[in-house]
Amino acid sequence: MNDITVTVKLFATLREGRFDIRTMSFFPGATVADVVRILEIPEKEVSLILY
Amino acid sequence: MDIHNELKKAAREGFVRAVELRRIAASAGIDPASAERAALEAGIVPERYRRNGATISIEQQLKLLDSTAAVIGCGGLGGYVVEELARLGVGRITAIDPDVFEEHNLNRQLFSDEPSLGRPKVASAAARIALVNPAVKIVPLYERFTADSAERQLLGSAVVVDALDSVPVRRELAAACTRLGIPLVHGSIAGWFGQVAVQYPGESTLEELYAGYKGERGVEERLGNPAFTPAVVASLETAEACKIILGIESELRRRVLMIDLLAMSFETISLG
């Protein structure tokens, strides 16, 4: 199966040292968790909580 | 006295000034809100609402006057929300906050100033609103919001506005609103960033937004809050609260508006 193309948008502090929007290729069946892992976003930051 | 006749005599081009409303209210032995209500029912708009213009009709102004909004938290967000609801003409505002003003509030909290340091935030809110709009009845509750007191604190409100600074309490508030059948406007802030969402009874928007979160506070602990972010997010919350009171469907139902004032971007994410 071919890779899938995904538009990844990051918000607020997740953009720090990364990007705000980027088109990326992922293996078929990739989940949001895979995106998070590849971008090396710590799990505790995934649910962005504002005060 | 014939209040309607007095109002018509005092009105100029369909508007009546506050000084005339006060005089008529005093003569008739009624409170300022009743005088405003009588004017609006007679098709006369209090001068203070002139610039609500065509945005708020006379019928809608009456609806606002006869409605109650509860604002939970009277700090960065809540101060602006209370101020804007009062200027809008919402007749009854319940303001709940257990804190007093501290020096580090001065960079952003509307009702804080140096003389008010150490004073309950809700006391300053009540004093301010009495000066801005005496037709608004503000009910200052110098206490915490708790699930146990939710019914006493919130019942009768057309809308509840979340201006809290604690994730667990926010989740309790959302659950209480669901239990009591009251729409909730959620707002939160951190640094340049903010988010706004609306939860109607029967929905679990807040639980979904904060699913899996175990801490007390969010990224605000590190980022702090500058003067402008609470003002922006509070104004958006007030707009949603206004719409809910007036029966206008919110575009933020089952959606969250993500605000980034650094990138100056506003994006809405559907929650499915």
pLDDT digits (tens, 9 = 90+) for A7-47: 998 888 888 889 989 999 999 999 888 888 999 988 777 76
How would you classify the pairing of strands B68-72 and B92-96?
parallel
In total, how many domains does chain A have? 1
Q: In this structure, is residue A27 part of a structural domain?
A: yes
Q: How far apart are CA B91 and CA B115, in angstroms?
A: 28
Buried b (16+ CB within 10 A) or exposed e, B12-44: eeebbebebbeebbeeeeeebbebbbbbbebeb
Residue B186's pLDDT band (cuts 50, 70, 90): very high
Chain A interface includes B113 (CB < 8 A): no
Residue B220's pLDDT band (cuts 50, 70, 90): low
Q: In this structure, is residue A36 part of a structural domain?
A: yes
pLDDT tens-digit profile of B31-79? 999 999 999 999 999 999 999 989 999 999 999 999 999 999 999 999 9
Instruction: Test A51 with B217 for CB contact under 8 angstroms.
Output: yes
Residue B98 has pLDDT above 80, yes or no: yes
Per-residue tokens: B253: 């139902």
The pLDDT score that the predictor gives to residue B216 is 62
Closest listed residue to residue B245, CA positions, set B73, B68, B57, B74: B68
The pLDDT score that the predictor gives to residue A2 is 87
Residue A49 has pLDDT above 60, yes or no: no
Q: In this structure, is residue A25 part of a structural domain?
A: yes
Q: In this structure, is residue A39 part of a structural domain?
A: yes
Instruction: Test A51 with B212 for CB contact under 8 angstroms.
Output: no
Q: In this structure, is residue A51 part of a structural domain?
A: no
Q: What is the distance in angstroms between the CA of the first residue and the CA of the last residue of chain B? A: 58
State the residue range of the domain holding A35. 4-44
Instruction: Test B219 with A9 for CB contact under 8 angstroms.
Output: no
The pLDDT score that the predictor gives to residue A48 is 53
The complex scores an ipTM of 0.73
Per-residue tokens: B242: 């206004």
Instruction: Test B267 with A20 for CB contact under 8 angstroms.
Output: no
Q: In this structure, is residue A49 part of a structural domain?
A: no
Residues of B in Cβ contact (< 8 Å) with A50: 188-190, 193-195, 218-220
Q: In this structure, is residue A23 part of a structural domain?
A: yes
Instruction: Test B220 with A47 for CB contact under 8 angstroms.
Output: no
Residues of B in Cβ contact (< 8 Å) with A33: none
In degrees rounded to 5, what are phi and psi of residue B223? -85, -25
Residue A51 has pLDDT above 50, yes or no: no
pLDDT tens-digit profile of B9-33? 999 999 999 999 999 999 999 999 9
Instruction: Test B194 with A50 for CB contact under 8 angstroms.
Output: yes
Mean pLDDT for all residues in chain B: 95
The residue-averaged pLDDT of B134-152 equals 98
Instruction: Test A51 with B219 for CB contact under 8 angstroms.
Output: yes
Instruction: Test A50 with B215 for CB contact under 8 angstroms.
Output: no
Per-residue tokens: B52: 């609500």
Q: Shortest Cα distance from B124 to chain A (angstroms)?
A: 23
Residues of A in Cβ contact (< 8 Å) with B219: 12-13, 48-51
Q: In this structure, is residue A50 part of a structural domain?
A: no
The pLDDT score that the predictor gives to residue B218 is 60
Residue B266's pLDDT band (cuts 50, 70, 90): very high
Residue B211's pLDDT band (cuts 50, 70, 90): confident
Chain A interface includes B234 (CB < 8 A): no
Chain A interface includes B194 (CB < 8 A): yes
Instruction: Test A12 with B190 for CB contact under 8 angstroms.
Output: yes
Residues of A in Cβ contact (< 8 Å) with B263: 15, 20
Residue B148 has pLDDT above 60, yes or no: yes
Residue of B nearest to A19 (CA): B263
User: A31 or B182: whose pLDDT is higher?
Assistant: B182
Q: How far apart are CA B224 and CA B15, in angstroms?
A: 44
Residue B144's pLDDT band (cuts 50, 70, 90): very high
